[in-house]
Chains A and B, each alone.
Chain A
């Protein structure tokens, strides 16, 4: 997984899941078209289509466990969000959808201006900034393998059926 894109920046800290996708759009039973409501109540963020990398302030996607937040970002066209930290549940949800929560240090973060061209290379775990440095980012090794090799986490756990049954008997 390697892609280059100009970034869209929403610099605000603590952007919560209600800003990403307001609760009134959670009444659906599928994921179709959910990206059309991304940041619906925050027009001042001026997030427009065409970019694959969103840059956001610290503690991105705090709040609810709604996976709809990831679905909305992905459906809109993003493949990654770059921040200095992410809420735990969002990070987990993102990786399960092959969507990258990229953590960088504040200095690197400050280099990312609207329209900056970046290249994300998951295999190398690098974020390269045009005219700037290439930095490495941490990512859960298992999630990385699953994304790169298109492995299915549920399939992985299902293979442990015998161990799970044994655990249930012993409990």
Chain B
């Protein structure tokens, strides 16, 4: 009896684990501009080629402007990194979705969109949020640049098997409560190191009821709980999402693929090393108050007493007091975007709350679609108009203010409600104070100019 993780692991073993780690075959290698230049330098130094350019997909997302799709007048160091990726892709024959491509976007948004992310695959990328792709029942995790070089050269990775951890989300979500709140609740419970050494498998009735974009949000933040990968077993929701996408199997091979994918879910009675259950019936919207994603509380809660020096330092950095309510806390910036929450459903959720309302005059709001395709669809639905009429900035696709590498930054000392994944000190700009929350909570806070409960604005079902 095997888990989903066991099955994918076993079917990708080129050389089994002995004293040396296993040699694991990689089906899809996603690359971007930040973590690859030194890997290509390594390949050139050794005189090696990219073994499977056909299994390698490149895009640019971190170091790019979101004010326009041109590098003219942009930060020269960042522009050089972007051009270096373009040159490397050209030299090594890798498909690149660059700034001129209508398929460009955040790497973890375009993989699923293109249909290259598929159940049962092994997927790696030099980016810790590669765990996102686990939503399709693919074994997907972040790797370092040395490993990027290894996968480029060999299409394999040296890897030891992780432990199986089972996370059950049971029950029914209340209106105004989303996948983002589910994953923040988990990390709040186990801490940022709680999943170290493990692969999470998310299951339970609440997970089954989520659409693919919501499942991606949950898997995306597996790494924030310390697990390199998070998985959801594929089901009809998965197959419907993938059907007809550019790189999804077609016709007879589609039927064969679905038959194969249906065998992936964990066997009844399969062994898990750890398990945790979270009842979502009583779950409230969640928000973080500190400087790591484990410092999360219900939106209506109060900042807890610090347990150690690090907690105290975090509160000092955030300029928050123990016992303080977060609801009503003044907000300067609202960011809707990132590989966690920049897909069409996220933008729809936020727009639904923003419609006919204005961004508070004290707030700067940025809405950054996860891909050019998300942007196109959002514009076709008129979501851009809702945001612009409310007074928000509507941007081009990219990582933007999640990592603040491109000039989109929260000023020092300012408070941001952000739909991204990390509230580390300085993550959104030096001295920036980040509160992580769902797109609904972020939109409500933009309107109120203070941390606000989306359930109180009305209109949620």
Contacts and interface: CB of A to CB of B under 8 A. Distances in A.
Interface of A: 11-14, 16, 18-19, 22-24, 26-31, 41-42, 57-59, 62-67, 70, 85-89, 92-93, 96-97, 140-142, 153-154, 156-158, 160-161, 163-164, 167-168, 171
B173 interface: no
Given A89-B223, A96-B146, A164-B14, 17 more contacts: A16-B424, A18-B424, A24-B405, A29-B37, A41-B426, A57-B310, A59-B192, A59-B193, A67-B144, A67-B146, A89-B143, A92-B147, A93-B145, A140-B160, A142-B19, A157-B158, A171-B25
Contact of B20 (A58, A85, A156): A156
B33 to A, nearest CB: 9
Given A12-B313, A18-B424, A62-B192, A142 B405 contact: no
Contacts of A89: 128, 141-144, 223, 228
A164 B63 contact: no
Contacts of A160: 14-15, 23, 154, 156
A28 B36 CA distance: 10
Contact of B309 (A11, A29, A156): A11
Nearest to A57: B310
A58 B310 CA distance: 11
Nearest to A96: B146
A87 B21 contact: no
A167 B141 CA distance: 21
Interface residues of B, number: 66
A14 B37 contact: no
B430 A65 contact: no
A18 B425 contact: yes
A18 B228 contact: no
Contacts of B425: 18-19, 41-42
17 contacts: A12-B309, A18-B424, A22-B430, A23-B427, A28-B81, A29-B81, A62-B292, A65-B126, A88-B196, A92-B143, A93-B146, A96-B147, A97-B146, A154-B149, A161-B154, A164-B23, A167-B25
B418 to A, nearest CB: 14
A65 B154 contact: no
Nearest to B227: A88
B108 interface: no
Interface stretch (B72-80, B200-208, B236-244): B72-80
A164 B34 contact: no
Nearest to B150: A154
B404 interface: yes
Nearest to B78: A27
B188 interface: no
A15 B67 CA distance: 32
B226 to A, nearest CB: 7
A141 B158 CA distance: 13
Contacts of B126: 65, 67
Given A29-B37, A57-B310, A63 B128 contact: yes
A62 B193 contact: yes
A79 B341 CA distance: 38
A30 B41 contact: yes
B193 A14 contact: yes
Contacts of B223: 63, 89
B253 interface: no
Given A18-B425, A30-B41, A87-B226, A96 B81 contact: no
A80 B403 CA distance: 27
Contacts of B147: 92-93, 96
Contacts of B25: 164, 167-168, 171
Contacts of A24: 404-405
Given A29-B38, A142-B21, A157 B146 contact: no
B60 to A, nearest CB: 12
Given A19-B424, A160-B14, A164-B154, A27 B77 contact: yes
A87 B224 CA distance: 10
Contacts of B461: none
Nearest to A41: B426
Among A14, A59, A87, the one with the most B-chain Cβ atoms within 10 Å of its Cβ is: A14
B197 interface: yes
Contacts of B313: 12
A87 B144 CA distance: 12
A161 B20 CA distance: 16
A155 B427 CA distance: 36
